[in-house]
Structure formats: structure tokens, C-alpha cells
Amino acid sequence: MIRMNIRRPALFPHILLVWGLLFLFAIDSMASVSYRDLIPEPVRVVEQEGAPFVFNEQTRIICSGNRPEWKCIVDSLVPYFSEMAGRQLSVGGMRKLMESNAIYFMWRPEIRKEGFRLKITEDNLNIEASDGAGAFYAVQLLRELSLSGLDKQGECNKEVNGKKWALCFPPVELEDYPSMSYRGAMLDVSRHFFSVDQVKRYIDLLAFHRLNHFHWHLTDDQGWRIEIKKYPNLTKVGAWRGADNYGGYYTQEEIKEVVAYAAGRYITIIPEIDMPGHTQAALAAYPELGCMGTSSYKVATEVGGVHKDVMCMGSDFTLPFVKDVLREVAELFPGPYIHIGGDEVPKDRWKACNACQQAIVEHGLKNTKQHTAEELLQGTFNEEIALYLHGLGKRMIGWDEVLADNLNQDVIVMSWRGLGRATAAIHKGHSVIVSADSHLYLNHYQTINSEQEPRATGGLVEMKKVFETPFFSPQLTETERAQVLGAEACLWSSFVDNDQILDYMLLPRLAAFADAAWCEGRRGTYNHFLQRLPSLLRCYEQLGYGYARHFFTISATYKSVPADKCLVVSLESLPDTKTYYTLDGSQPTKDAFLYENPLRINQSCVLKAVSYLPNGLCSDELSKEVVVNKATFKPIRLQNTPSERYQGEDGKVLVDGIRSINFHNTGLWVGYHSSDMIATIDLEYPQEINAIEVSALTDLSAWIMGPQSVSVYTSSDGKRYKMVAHETYQAPTDAMGEKSSDLHRLSFKKGVSARYVKVSAVPFKGLPRGHSGEGESPFLFVDEIRVY
């Protein structure tokens, strides 16, 4: 039974996924696709001479050897082969003599775990593996190879001996196995709820990409999604939010159904029950869990942020509650891991709570140079939970905030804040899973053209960055590297509320992650990955998954040259590409100008450029407007020193004629923290001015707000200034507000004659309510000042 409310319509067209389709194939379907085009890329491919193996009416599946458990694995894979063949295939046992026209599953104990070998001749197709996962992944490889050879209607391109149902595989000897044992993906169903069928669909995606762990983020501030028999209010109250009562949850029977579904695809599910923070939904259901003990707790309605109300560490109710919940969770999930979150736990309530302070005294905790007593209190809580889970036969996973000196080494640390935290955890004896938000959070924007994208969170994670994710710090020894279990890609659902957006955010970035994790240590270049990608995109189309067409970008550097009164633009793309550009705002095609040398621009224009790979994949379009105005290329002086990482060439970027994209780390911004931006521009001779424009960034996920006010002063001698314009602005109220680059225009009632123009931008004093840094000083970022 599914309990959910649907609030918003789909944003993108979508092809429904129908697994019952009887696909038709042709012998030519493999002609344009090679075993070397596959993603992930096989370890070894030796293509053979001879005719292909062709399915026909007599083709059978045979399990070799007298191994009942092996036959069960084969039976579970029959639907995949039947799907490929377009008819139900029969399964038989091994006879004394090898049969022709058969698919053999052979147990080979010497093959690596999850690995497999394929031996294909005209007579037989042999799959060799030591476990069910290896056999399953061999079938996924064959599915990928077959699906990529279909046309857009799912039909074959040519007939074979007058028949269109035939499916064939060219002769080959192929070996493959994963480099990393843990290859996972996370789905957050708390911020937006996904039905059982939608979760199964997500699991199918992971299986097709040969990922073997599904991290199911089941609870958070915005909703409790799992039935707990002993505490019915968790779903009666905690699963619903807001005036429209949005929400949903999974019954325990539904959980078991999903667990079994994943197991059939050799995927282990890791449930996450967030504690002691991110618990607004739990507090709303059981107020005695909180330090305030008040009925005013509500399930959070905003889809992000960090809340100060967390579980009370001094309450007699908290620990029994947590253990009761985890005991029921452990019974539902047979896998070895349970994730307890442990991230982003503000200590404000604990500092003011008598019961929490008493707990600190009872545990003998005191402030140290590394940790406050409250931080150690969370460590004590984590330690007790880890021991309890160990008693249930489970191993605890926590986000890297759980790392403390008093944490059991058996706890696995999931490092989301970079390799530095992973390295620290390893040095303290922990195993780690790399899940860096900078590379593996697929809820971030995937293109610099964010204005044209569905709303996303945080920064920029282009597919190339996903593919090139570093999994090991260079500081690690070979022994320490063994403590890195693997990696995980995460999809937080703040703005992901349907399958169409999910596909768009995941694909094909998930393929880049899967290739990197499976092939770690033998990864090729990103160019080589892109050469193989088109065949996988055809698979998505056949299976009904949408995907984003953001494959690679053009990198542009901009250099203001005041002496020559021009902007020098250098363009760089991937190797083997050709780049074409226009300067009149028209769409660049292969008939446009071919880029060969840096461009020197001295007048207003709209530069657009694209790059092409030989296989036809096209880059995102680079579009940059150059506005040459009275301030462009003029001398500029900053009164206050910007933050060290955001100096913007001592202010030159403010008068280079271009605005940055909506990401603060482009080098085109001047950034300040807790101080005003005051810039003086020398127009070089007196002239009339009528308006000023100041471009500023708002990106609350990066603690950046636009200006609270902007003032303009003019002078004829550079000594005495007069204010000619002043504007104030309202602070954003949405703690998860969209990032934007706003152009603040200040016009004068009548023209003013001046040589010097001083612009002052004053930042807001604190981040808005509901923000994770509520009340803290925000950054102020400015990237362009225009004078008209």
C-alpha cells in the first residue's frame, strides 16, 4: 500500500518504462557497437574471428554442474535473457556432451568476487563466474550491448536470414571485475517522497550501472518515511508536513518488498535513520525527544537547512527510543550496515539544556583543544549506538561529523566534506566510503548555464568532475588505501520530486561515477569515456530513461588589458575537439569562425562558442556578453582588501566588461566577508554619467547574499566626493533560495559630470532565519560595475 500526495506536475517529457516489451533485434545490431564501447569498460577484451552467436527458436539456457544454488541464480536471470531474445527461454541441466546453440552458466571459483568471464563462439555463449553477482553483471553487459544496437523504435536495423527477431553477439573472450567493492548511490526520500515503484525504478538504474549498494535516506527534518510499530506517531505525524499535508511512508511490508527486489539485483540496501540531528519530524511526533519538550515542534516545511532542535542527550526517553527504532530497522534490512547520519548537529540546545549539561558531567566530559564537551557528548552517543548495533549484528556508518577521538574504530565514516576528512578517519583506524559533495553530489548543477536548468542545490558538479573524482588521498600508504571501501554518489531531493527530474540529474553523470568506481586504478581519459558514451545513451532511450545533454564544456579565461583597452579571451576544450564561435549572438555551427588563437575584444558583443568531438557529441554552449561602457578597462582601486581567495585581480574584474556565471569560484568575483566593498573608478577625464549598475551574487548555499545597500559618489578631483544615488534592498527570506546574479541599477534624475566614481556596497549583517548559519555574517560578492 502506498501513501503519498502528488503536488507538482512533471517538468520534462518522459517515455514510460515498460519492462514487458518484446525487443526485436538483428544481426547487424552489434555491427556499430564494440565490446570496447561498454560502460563500465571491461578489463580485457580479445575479439575473435568467426560468425556470431545467434539466438533462435532452439536456444536454451544451461546451468553446468550439480550446484542447486547456482541454478537458483540462473533462474533469476532468465527474465533478462528472455527480454533480450523477445521470447521465454527454457532452462536445462548439463548433459554429458556440450550442446550447441546454448547459453552456459559455469561456476568458476577462481574468478574474483563480482567478476566474470565471457566466452562467445558461433556455437555457444558461456558465462563464467564465482558468484551470482558476477553472473548478473555479465548479463547486464550483454543487455547494454544489445540495447545500444537498437533504433529509436526498439527495432532491428536489418533482417537475419529473413527474420527480425534474431539477437547475436560477435565472438569474444572477455574478462571483467570491479576495482572497488563498495559502489553505491543514495536517494533521499525525506524531502520528497518516492513511491515503492519509483524506488524500484531507481534500483533498476543502479543495477544496470553495476552498482551494488543503495543508501536509502529514510528520515530527516522534512519527513519520517519508515513504519516503526512501537512508535506509530512517527508515520502518523512525522510523515506529513505543511498546510497541504504532503508526505508518505513505507509500511514494513513494503520495505521487505523493496529489500527483496534489490537483493534480486545483487544490491544491498543501507537504511539511514538520521540522529541526533535532522530530527524535526521525529520531534514533532514525540516532543519528549527534544530539549524543549514542547508540542510546538513541527515537521520542517522548507526543503533544506539545518535546525537547532535536535534529540536531547539528557532525556531518559531518547536512548530507549533510538534503540527500539534501530532494532525494528535491523530486522527489516538483512544487510550488514545501518547508517545513523550524525551530520550537522548544532549544539545550541545542548548548551542551554540542564539535562544535557548533567549528562556531560555524568560522562566526565570536558572541553579540549580539539572538541567542546558538547561535541564529545555526541561522540559518547555515537559510541553507544555503535555498540548497540554491533550487538544486533550490524556495523554503523555515519557522515564524517561522527569522527571523534572516542569513536569505535569499527564505525565506517562516509566522508562528504572532502578527502581530508577521509584521510583523518583512516589515520584513526576507520574504514571509509568517499562521497565528496564537491564531486559526487548529483543534486548540484551540472552546467554553468544554471539559469536554464531545473532548480538545484549548491554548486557545480560537471560530469567530467564526477568522472575524475579522486578516491584516494596521495598521503595514504598501500595498507591505508585498503581502508577505502569504495565510493557513493548522492542525490538529495530538495528539488527532485519526480522521475523526470531524477533522470535529468542522475544521467549520464551516474554512468561517469559507475565507470570511475568500477575501473578505479585503470580509468582512461575523460575523452575516452565520451567516445563510449553514445552507445549507453541509446540504452537509456530504449529503457525509457531521460538524461541531460551536458557532456563537456568550453573553458574560457578572460584577461583585461587596460593598456590596449581590450579583453583577451582564450578558449579551451577537450583534446580532439574543434571549437567554433560567433560574435554577433547567433548560434555557432560548423560554418562559424574556427577558433585558433585568443580573441581580442574591444567593443560590445555577444560571444558564443561550441566544441564538437569526432563522434558528434557537442559541448554546452558558451555564451558571454561583453558590455563596453564608460568604466570598462579603466583604472580601479579597492579601499578594503577582499578575501584572500576572491581578490579579482585587485578589482580589475569589476571593469572588464563581462559578468560572471552564478558560481562564486570562477575567479571573476571580488568577495568580502564582514566588510564593505568600496571601489573607485578613474574615468580618466570628466564626462557625464546617468546611471550605475552593480552586479552581485546571491547563493545562500555558499553563505553569499547580495548587498543590503548600494551608494554612488562622484568627484572631479578624486578628493571630494558627493553622494548622487543610494538604494537599499530586502534580505531574502528563503533559506534555500535560488542562486542568482542580480544587476542593481541606480539612475540619476539628471546627468552628473565627474571623472571619479566611487561605489559602496554594504553587506547584510546576518544570514536569514532557517539557514544553517542563521545570524552568521554572509559573504558579499560583486563581479561588475558599469557606468553609463
What residues are labeled active site?
A: 220, 278, 344
Residue 275 grid cell: 540522529
Q: Is 572 helix (H, G, I), strand (E, B) or coil?
A: strand
- Quick check: 195 and 187 in contact, CB under 8 A? no
C-alpha 410/C-alpha 425 separation (Å) is 11
C-alpha 124/C-alpha 98 separation (Å) is 9
- Quick check: 496 and 187 in contact, CB under 8 A? no
Q: Is 511 helix (H, G, I), strand (E, B) or coil?
A: helix
Query: What CA–CA distances, in Å, run from 775 to 53, 764, 766, 770?
Result: 68, 10, 4, 10
Sign of CA dihedral 33, 36, 37, 40: positive
Q: Is 244 helix (H, G, I), strand (E, B) or coil?
A: coil
Residues 6+ apart with CB under 8 A from 115: 129, 130, 134, 175, 176, 177, 178
Write out the DSSP string of 538-549.
Answer: HHHHHHT-----
C-alpha 378/C-alpha 367 separation (Å) is 13
According to DSSP, the β-strands at 268-275 and 337-341 are: parallel
C-alpha 614/C-alpha 449 separation (Å) is 24
Sign of CA dihedral 233, 238, 242, 247: negative
Q: Burial of 564 by CB count in 10 Å (0-12 exposed, 13-18 middle, 19+ buried)?
A: exposed
C-alpha 349/C-alpha 309 separation (Å) is 7
C-alpha 131/C-alpha 69 separation (Å) is 10
- Quick check: 544 and 18 in contact, CB under 8 A? yes
Write out the DSSP string of 120-144.
Answer: E-SSEEEEEESSHHHHHHHHHHHHH
Q: What is the DSSP letter of 662?
A: S
